[in-house]
Structure formats: C-alpha cells, structure tokens
Amino acid sequence: MASRGPSLPRITDVAALAGVSTSTASKALNDTGQLREETRERVRRAAEQLGFTPDSRGRALSSGRSYTVGLITTDSSGRFSIPIMLGAEDALSAGEMALVLCDTRDDPLREQHYLRSLVSRRVDGIIVTGRRTEPREPIDVPIPVVYAFSPSTDPADTSVIVDDHGGASSAVQHLLSLGRRRIAHITGPASHRSALSRAAATVESAGDALVGEPMHGEWSERWGRHAVDVLLRSGTEVDAISCGSDQIARGVCDRLRELGRSVPDDLAVTGYDNWSVMALASRPPLTTVDLELEELGRHTAQLLLEAIAGSPHRGLVELPTRLVTRESTLGT
Amino acid sequence: MASRGPSLPRITDVAALAGVSTSTASKALNDTGQLREETRERVRRAAEQLGFTPDSRGRALSSGRSYTVGLITTDSSGRFSIPIMLGAEDALSAGEMALVLCDTRDDPLREQHYLRSLVSRRVDGIIVTGRRTEPREPIDVPIPVVYAFSPSTDPADTSVIVDDHGGASSAVQHLLSLGRRRIAHITGPASHRSALSRAAATVESAGDALVGEPMHGEWSERWGRHAVDVLLRSGTEVDAISCGSDQIARGVCDRLRELGRSVPDDLAVTGYDNWSVMALASRPPLTTVDLELEELGRHTAQLLLEAIAGSPHRGLVELPTRLVTRESTLGT
DNA sequence: GAAAATCCGGAACACGTTTTCCTGACTGAA
DNA sequence: TTCAGTCAGGAAAACGTGTTCCGGATTTTC
C-alpha cells in the first residue's frame, strides 16, 4: 500500500542477482535440495550483498506454523509473572520463536479478546500464567497450552507449578538443623492456597517444634510487625519464626529489632519468595526460599515446545525451590 | 505438515457453506465491496457457525503489514520497563496490534539477534526501552522506532522520556509550600544522569532553602540511612529531605525514626518513583513523584502508531510526572 | 422495446516463501 | 550406441487472505 521508501529485498531479488530461480535461492539459503556448492555460495553472497532477511510471514504461511507463542498473564503488577515471562522468552528465543505478550488485567472480556487475537495469529502455542497459585479455569483453544504457576483446574492439562510444600519444608528443616525447637509460623490469608499449603508443610515438617497455630494475616510488612507483637505478648517462648513471604519476614525483623530482640541470635527468621527488594534490604538480610520462577518459565516453554512438536506431557509438574541462606538465620 | 486434528476453518470453508466465492466472503466479512445485505448476513452466519477466525498471516502478507510491534528492553529486572511495556501493550491491543517481547539482558549480541528476528517478522515498528535515563545508541533498522525512558543519542529519532527536572521541582515546591526552608537532597550516584538532573532541578528550585550540596551515593535504603547519619552529625539544621528515590527515602525515614526524629513533624521527607513497595511500606508512607510510566508506555505506543501511519513525530517528548502526597510530608 | 446505468458477485492475481515434481544434461556401464 | 542412473536447477502449486477488474443480471430511462 504505502510503500515507504525502498522496501526490503525479497528472495526473488536475491535469485535475480544470483542468476537463479527463486526455488534454487530458497534451497541454497536453507541448505536443502541438491545444488552445487558453488551455486549455494553465489546465492549466499547475493543475499549478503542485498542484506536479505527472509520474510517470516511468507515462511509462516507456507510452513503452517507461525513460530510465535502467546503468553497470557492476569498479573499486571508482575511480581510473579515477569520472571516466568523472561524465562520463557529466554527458552523460546533460542528456538527462533517469538513471544507475544497479553496482559488481561484479570478481565475475562480482555482475556477473550486476547484469545481470539492469538488464535487469529495462529500462534503455535500459549502459556497461561497468573498471580496466585490457585488453580484457574482452563482456556478453550484448539492450540497447545501450558499453564505456569497457576495450574489449570483440569488435571488433563499441562501445568507447571512451584513445589510449595517442599519449599516450606526446606525452610523448616533448615531451622531445625540449626537447633531451633520453638518455631512459629506467620503467613498470609487463609483464603490463599499458597498460605495454606505452606502452613500445612510447615506444621508437618516442624512436628513438635511448632509453636501454636499458623498465624494468618495479610501479605504485608505491617502484618509481620503486628504478628510479632501478638506472638510475644502471648508469652510463649519462641526461637524461630518461619514466614510465608519476604514482606512478612521483613516486617517481623523490623519489629524484633525495635523490641531489642536479636536476629538470628534470639530468633531466627526465614522468608519466602526471595524477592530481592525485600530479602536483601531487610535487616538482617533474609534466609528465604527462592521460587526459581525464571527456571519455571524456561521449563514451561520447554514443555510447550514439546507439545507443539506433538508429544504433550499431560498433568502437573512440580518444580523444586531453592533455599537461600543469609544472615537472618546464620548470623554474620 | 503435521495436521493436528481438524484444522481451523478457512475463508474458503465459510464461502462454500454460504454458497459464495471466497472473494465475496472476504468482502462480506470486511464490510467492503458491493454486496446485498442479505448476502453479507448469510456469510456472517456461516462464519459464526464454523467459528471462523481469519488467519492473520494471510492478511499480513496481503496487506503488507504484520500488525505487530516489537519491544526491546535491556532491563531484565523490569523495575521501569514493565510498566512501560504494559502501557504500550494496552494502547496497542486496542488497535488489534500485538506486542512481541525481547529482553536483551544488556547483551549487544542478543540485541542484534532480536533485531534480525523482528525485521524478519516484518514488525510494523519497534519500541526500545531501558533501565536508565542515559541516552543510548540508536538501533539501525528500516522500520519506525520510538525510544522510551532511555532516549536515543540521535536527536532526530523519536524519544519519549520523563520530565525529571519537573518531577524533582514539584517535590521541592511542595516542601516549600509547606513552609520548609532547610532542605537537604540525598540521591543516587553522580554517574547517573537521573541523579544529576534531579539534583540540578532540586538545587535550582530550592534556591536559598537548599542545605549543603546534594549528597550522592547508591540507590539503596542503606545509603539513605547512612546519609542521614552524615547529615545530622554535621550539625546543620534541616527541616526537610528530598530524596532521589523511594528506596533512599525509605532508608531515610527508617533512620530518622530510629534516631527519634519525627517525620514529618521534625523533618518532611519526599521520595521519587512512587514505587509502591517502597512508598507505601515506608513508615510513614512517602510523598513521592510518580513517573507515570504506564502513561509513558501508552504515549510511546501512540507515537509509534502515528509513525507507522506515516507521520512520525521526531525529537524528544518529555512527559509530566505527578506528585503524590502522603504522610511523610503531610502528617496524618 | 432498446440503450444505459446500476448492482452484485466471481475469476484472477498479489503478497513471499517452501516444497513437490519434473526436465535436461551429464556419467558410467553394458 | 544405448540405457539407467545421478545431478543441478527450474516451473508450478500451495499456504490464506485482500483487492482489482470484469461480466452478467437487474433496474432505470427515453
């Protein structure tokens, strides 16, 4: 339509310059067919000279694939989905696949809109991710889909999630291995699956060493500070606090310091998420559980690629977390 | 190739079902050409019945456009580029454009790779964004480009940036309007343009009310705390501190509280960035300057769309910031 | 009733690549 | 010399859509 300046060279231009047909040019550039090495070289030089870059739209049309995958996220803030996205993008770009981003902002209408758009683009596959670990309604598209972080409610779908149970356990094991025997657990709202599963794992791993019930509140520093007040006011003896998030743990540390309790000498504290802004800025820096979200993103992309290739891996995949030890349990 | 199940309906299927030719079907669905309303309706019903979604690859090929724009970011952590990205994506999705994500991780090789990939996809345009406000080398592609946050070193390129001068000024004006007349400035490293420009604006706006020189350090809470020690130890009287970032401001507030100084009664504190994790969690919550990055992303996308449409807006566009007032200057 | 204007829909091609099939030339063996 | 076999490369179709042009049918006008 509006031909802006000299448009990019096409393969016919390359072919013309090399004095061959387009099909020969194609074969030369893709290392297929039967051609003399000299011919290949001639075509390659012509392509080089013209700065030819194949138009992937043509290729997409002819190959039936678009070499594109869509990523649908409901998490506009991006705390969790961003690292997943980057990991996925990393894994995909190695295979010359591009990732198109769709942020639904938790709006079902927008989600529908994006799904139509992705299907219309004939995306090779879709990654669906969210802010919470609660399972979500599967999406209905005739394309391979892998769910990341928020699994699908349909167990026949492919979902990659974090092993929250193992993560919480590893924190408790760490505390136990340090000799702590009076462990409290402060975490997020009981309405959140992540809080519940971490709490359950903590209870199970701590056994007799658990002090009281898991304390549920908001995912905030304020709740961490407040919970410390409640905990200490109750008079129960405590030598460690495992927290359901780094934010809570930071609040806990702040409050303990204000009350003159030493971390980790008097009380060891563990966080969860390894959210560097919190974990590193906390005084002292937090021992915490890294969710390895970027790896989760990579793994998700990998599974999606396999599904696209025709061998889908159905069901739930739980990826391990990694315990990061810092001064809040080890001292300096 | 690997025909997975019943492939999606094509426009020929719709045409066949409606008993018309593909061209008629195309016209009916796109509201072009001259057709009887009854025919259009028949085609529409056929499309509906088959769940037809046009293959945008075909459309892309025939229209010469790909209805896709690329976003290149060097900022893998995403503090700044994520909101920009989301804003851009928001503005683009309204126009049925998709955004493909490319995270270069500050690696020139990766950047080259992505550029080739985007050109090969015949992207309609490219948005380039980064982590810092320092100008960056322009990219060399035969496609419209708009730079966001990090402007291009070439003034003939289109760049959208934050009005840092105005932002810092607004914070100082606010402090002055509250009657503060002894204002210190604590900010990031002098090697960062953002720190320098904010400092310059602060010096200019504060005039006689400025206390001492701008204090440069790292962008961290720790530096904020340390700077307070240095400042107060020097014995100079101070009734307000304007900080170059929310992280620094939070550190400042923490330290002041520890030293028994009341914020804002003894000293008012302002931050910069309106990074909610810091600004809201700080005690007290921070009055700060919102960079309106999402709006910046939207505006960038808008300019890119105009450039794609053929009327590029060359040069630098500075977008205003927004002062957000909270307890760190206003009290409760 | 015939010529002109209008309306509707189809055939053909373009977009850029890959791939399948085919042809002509050359080689070597019988 | 002839025949089979190999090799190098070209012609054409396919992918799915949009668009341009054109012809037939219907209506209008004199």
What pLDDT score does B2 carry?
33
Chain B residues near residue A90 by CB distance under 8 angstroms: 103
Alpha-carbon distance B215 to nearest alpha carbon in chain A (angstroms) = 21
pLDDT of B331 higher than 60: yes
The domain made up of B164-291+324-330 has a fold known as Rossmann fold (3.40.50)
Note whether B219 and B248 are within 8 A (CB): yes
The pLDDT confidence band at residue B75, using thresholds 50, 70 and 90, is confident
Q: Which of A89, A103, A120 lies closest to B86 in CB terms?
A: A103
The pLDDT confidence band at residue A39, using thresholds 50, 70 and 90, is very high
What pLDDT score does A78 carry?
76
pLDDT of B87 higher than 60: yes
| Low-confidence winner among A3-7, A222-226, B60-64, B180-184 (lowest mean pLDDT) | A3-7
What pLDDT score does A293 carry?
96
Chain A residues near residue B1 by CB distance under 8 angstroms: 63-65
Chain A nearest-CA residue for B258: A258
Note the pLDDT tens digit of each residue in A86-104.
Answer: 999 999 998 899 999 999 9
Tokens encoding A237: 């003896």
What pLDDT score does A1 carry?
35
Note the pLDDT tens digit of each residue in B265-321.
Answer: 999 999 999 999 999 999 999 999 999 999 999 999 999 999 999 999 999 999 999
pLDDT of A47 higher than 90: yes
Please determine whether the domains at B66-162+293-320 and B164-291+324-330 fall in the same fold group of CATH.
yes
What pLDDT score does A2 carry?
34
Task: Give the residue from B55, B57, B222 with the most A CB atoms within 10 Å of its CB, the best one to mutate.
Answer: B57
Chain A nearest-CA residue for B248: A281
Distance A35 CA to D4 C1' (A): 22
Chain A residues near residue B100 by CB distance under 8 angstroms: 68, 98-101
Does B78 contact A76 at a Cβ distance shorter than 8 Å?
A: no
Chain A residues near residue B223 by CB distance under 8 angstroms: none
Note the pLDDT tens digit of each residue in B201-238.
Answer: 999 999 999 999 999 999 999 999 999 999 999 989 99
Tokens encoding A82: 């961003």
| Domain extents in chain A | 11-53, 66-162+293-320, 164-291+324-330
pLDDT of A53 higher than 50: yes
Mean predicted confidence (pLDDT) in A266-291: 96
What pLDDT score does A315 carry?
95
Note whether A205 and A168 are within 8 A (CB): yes
Q: Tell me the three-class secondary structure of chain B, residue by residue.
A: CCCCCCCCCCHHHHHHHHCCCHHHHHHHHHCCCCCCHHHHHHHHHHHHHHCCCCCHHHHHHHHCCCCEEEEEECCCCCCCHHHHHHHHHHHHHHCCCEEEEEECCCCHHHHHHHHHHHHHCCCCEEEEECCCCCCECCCCCCCCEEEECCCECCCCCEEEEECHHHHHHHHHHHHHHCCCCCEEEEECCCCCHHHHHHHHHHHHHHHHHECCCCEECCCCHHHHHHHHHHHHHCCCCCCEEEECCHHHHHHHHHHHHHCCCCCCCCCEEECCECCHHHHCCCCCCCEEEECCHHHHHHHHHHHHHHHHHCCCCCEEEEECCEEECCHHHHCC
The pLDDT confidence band at residue A213, using thresholds 50, 70 and 90, is very high
Alpha-carbon distance A322 to nearest alpha carbon in chain B (angstroms) = 19
Q: Which of B55, B100, B142 lies closest to A99 in CB terms?
A: B100
Please name the nucleotide lying closest to A64, CA to C1'. D15
What pLDDT score does A114 carry?
96
Note the pLDDT tens digit of each residue in B171-196.
Answer: 999 999 999 999 999 999 999 999 99
Say whether the CB atom of A325 is under 7 angstroms from strand D: no
Tally C-beta pairs within 8 A across A and B. Answer: 112
pLDDT of B3 higher than 70: no
Count the Cβ atoms, other than its own, within 10 Å of residue B32.
9
What burial letters (b/e) apply to A75-111, b meaning 16+ CB within 10 Å? bbebebbbbbbbbbbbbbbeeebbbbbbbbeeeeebb
Instruction: Tell how strand A288-290 and strand A322-324 pair up.
Output: antiparallel
What pLDDT score does B6 carry?
53
Note the pLDDT tens digit of each residue in B4-53.
Answer: 445 789 999 999 999 999 999 999 999 998 888 999 999 999 999 999 99
Chain A residues near residue B55 by CB distance under 8 angstroms: 120, 122
Please name the nucleotide lying closest to A30, CA to C1'. C18
Chain A nearest-CA residue for B58: A61
For residue A24, the 8-state DSSP code is H
pLDDT of A247 higher than 70: yes
pLDDT of A177 higher than 60: yes
pLDDT of A5 higher than 70: no
Q: Which of B5, B86, B98 lies closest to A121 in CB terms?
A: B98
The domain made up of B66-162+293-320 has a fold known as Rossmann fold (3.40.50)
Mean predicted confidence (pLDDT) in A222-244: 96
What pLDDT score does B172 carry?
98
Distance of alpha carbon B274 from alpha carbon A266, whole angstroms = 35
Note the pLDDT tens digit of each residue in B245-268.
Answer: 999 999 999 999 999 999 999 999
What pLDDT score does A77 carry?
75
Note whether A155 and A161 are within 8 A (CB): no
**Positive/negative CA dihedral, A233, A238, A239, A242:** negative
Say whether the CB atom of A30 is under 7 angstroms from strand D: no
Q: Which strand C nucleotides have any atom less than 7 A from protein CB atoms?
A: 7-12, 14-21
pTM above 0.85, yes or no: yes
Note the pLDDT tens digit of each residue in A120-154.
Answer: 999 999 999 999 999 999 999 999 999 999 999 99
Mean predicted confidence (pLDDT) in A276-299: 96
SS3 A85: helix
Distance of alpha carbon B253 from alpha carbon B246, whole angstroms = 10
Chain B residues near residue A2 by CB distance under 8 angstroms: 310
Note the pLDDT tens digit of each residue in A13-36.
Answer: 999 999 999 999 999 999 998 899
Distance of alpha carbon B183 from alpha carbon A272, whole angstroms = 39
Alpha-carbon distance B55 to nearest alpha carbon in chain A (angstroms) = 5
Does B101 contact A100 at a Cβ distance shorter than 8 Å?
A: yes
Whole-number average pLDDT of chain A: 94
pLDDT of B136 higher than 90: yes
